Amino acid sequence: MAKIVSITEHFQHFLTNLKESFWGDLEQKTQVAWKRFLEAESERLRDQYAVWDSYERGTRKPGQYRNGYYERDFVTRFGTIRLRVARARGKSFLPRAMEKFQRRAPELAILIREAFLRGISTRQVGRLVATLTGETISAQTVSRLTRDLDQAVREFHRAALQDEWAYLFLDGVALKVRRPAGRQHVQMLVAYGVRRDGTRQLLGFLRTQGEGQAHWEALLEDLYRRGLKGDKLLLIVTDGCPGLAAAIQTVYPRVAHQRCWVHKMRNILDKVRKRDHDAVKLDAQAIYLADSRRQAEAAARAFSRRWRREYPTMVRQLERDLPDLLVFYHFPKHLWRKLRTTNIIERCFVEVRRRTRPMVCFVNVQSVDRIIYSIFQRFNLEWKNRTLRVFTQAA
């Protein structure tokens, strides 16, 4: 008995939207009209080549004899059309108009890629195309079509950057990739830039095996090589990774560095007992919610006095990191909330995880780059005419 594959609500919603936008008001009559026209054109081209009418006889050059027809399906912007293509011996006569459609119309290739990039599995993409066109597309075909993105990925990594960015946010996201030895994690390091006028862009990403200093230096040096010299950089905000902090000192040593308070709070609370969780959280929040740096330093001293005996290691780490955690106080007050965390880039990672969740695990590292590029490029296009108002106020 054939196995029934369930269609998720996400897939069904996407399919419904595609049906409305992809075909619009095109009807079956359009397919029939194109079929008749193209078949007649195919016969005309063959007759012109063979010179003789169908019932004439005479001496002909080798290969000029008519040799019947063959049928072939073409998936076009008008749906799947089965054409009866005329042929002579050793030559077929596909109309030039049909050649422009190609085997699969460009719109269909875009549909396949878009469905895949929205987190729909390669198998479900095949069923989606079959529903729309009547032609079954294999998972291997879907994978092959998505490889067209490789050139776009290369161009993204080579694109020049203007040295006009004021704030740089750096963070990483872990993704699973299928390897011969089993599933492994790869780290995607990401750079997000904001100008003084509030315009923003995802500037670059790098797939690595970790978040060490060498890995982050590779990303930062790539940004520098592409044009981000850092002359106008005011602040770099990071997740607190030690390797990243060291890399910043190598590539952008004159730029101020702010550590993310969300990551720091997570580290603090991971080291305390459950009974102390709420009290420690409130005392730590009092540091970065203070109205001035002086008040923040006073709150930090109070935190140390209260918790040093219970959690000496955690308190020493907070005291060591405090200078990098309070840098945001040097900037306009309305920017503090944006500059004290990497939340601005974490929201992009939420979309990455949502899109990649149905895939469970990437087949190879190239597919990771294609997906990340496509998601980030979509963000960049959406942000072209949308600024972060809080930064605009400071321009």
Q: pLDDT digits over 98-143, tens only? A: 655 555 556 666 676 666 666 566 667 777 776 666 666 666 666 6
Q: What is the pLDDT of residue 371?
A: 79
Residue 377 · residue 352 · CB < 8 Å: no
**Quick check: 58 pLDDT over 60?**
no
Phi, psi angle pair for 18, to nearest 5°: -65, -40
Mean pLDDT of 285-307: 97
More confident residue, 7 or 237: 237
Comparing 271-275, 277-281, 378-382, the range with the smallest average pLDDT is 378-382
Q: For residue 2, what pLDDT band results from cuts at 50, 70 and 90?
A: very low
- Whole-number Cα distances in Å, 269 to 2, 238, 260: 51, 19, 15
Averaged pLDDT for residues 138-166: 81
Tell me what percent of the residues of the chain surpass a pLDDT of 70: 67
Residue 245's contacts (CB-CB under 8 Å, 6 or more residues apart) are 238, 257, 259, 324
- The per-residue pLDDT of the chain, averaged, comes to 80
| Cα separation, 295 vs 299, whole angstroms | 6
Rounded Cα distance between 117 and 373, Å, is 10
Where does the pLDDT of residue 176 fall: very low under 50, low under 70, confident under 90, or very high at 90 and above? confident
pLDDT at residue 321, as a whole number: 95
Mean pLDDT on 44-73? 65
* Structure confidence at residue 38 as a pLDDT band (50, 70, 90): confident
What is the model's pLDDT at position 48?
76
Q: Determine the pLDDT at residue 5.
A: 47
- State the pLDDT at residue 315: 96
3-state secondary structure the chain: CCCCCCCCHHHHHHHHHHHHHHCCCCCHHHHHHHHHHHHHHHHHHHHHHHCCCCCCCCCCCCCCCEEEEEEEEEEECCEEEEEEEEEECCEECCCHHHHHHCCECHHHHHHHHHHHHCCCCHHHHHHHHHHHHCCCCCHHHHHHHHCCHHHHHHHHHHCCCCCCCCEEEEEEEEEEEEECCEEEEEEEEEEEEECCCCCEEEEEEEEECCCCHHHHHHHHHHHHHCCCCCCCCCEEEECCCHHHHHHHHHHCCCCEEEECHHHHHHHHHHCCCHHHHHHHHHHHHHHHCCCCHHHHHHHHHHHHHHHCCCCHHHHHHHHHHHHHHCHHHHCCHHHHHHHCCCHHHHHHHHHHHHHHHHHCCECCHHHHHHHHHHHHHHHHHHHCCCCCHHHHCCC
pLDDT score recorded for residue 16: 64
385 or 142: which leads in pLDDT: 385
Higher pLDDT, 348 or 131: 348
- Is the pLDDT higher at 65 or at 253? 253
Report whether pLDDT(341) > 60. yes
* pLDDT recorded at residue 56: 53
Q: What percent of the chain has pLDDT over 90?
A: 41
Among candidate residues 356, 349, 358, the one with its CA nearest the CA of residue 379: 349
Does residue 382 surpass a pLDDT of 50?
Answer: yes
Q: Please give the residue that has the higher pLDDT: either 31 or 46.
A: 46
pLDDT for residue 380 is more than 80: yes
pLDDT (average), residues 57-71: 64
| pLDDT digit string, tens, across residues 178-200 | 666 666 777 889 999 999 999 99
Mean pLDDT, rounded, for 80-108: 68
Tell me phi and psi for residue 262, to 5 degrees: -65, -45
Query: Per the structure block, which two tokens stand in for 227?
Result: 């044009």
Which position has the higher pLDDT, 256 or 124? 256
Other CB atoms within 10 Å distance of the CB of residue 96: 8
pLDDT for position 143: 67
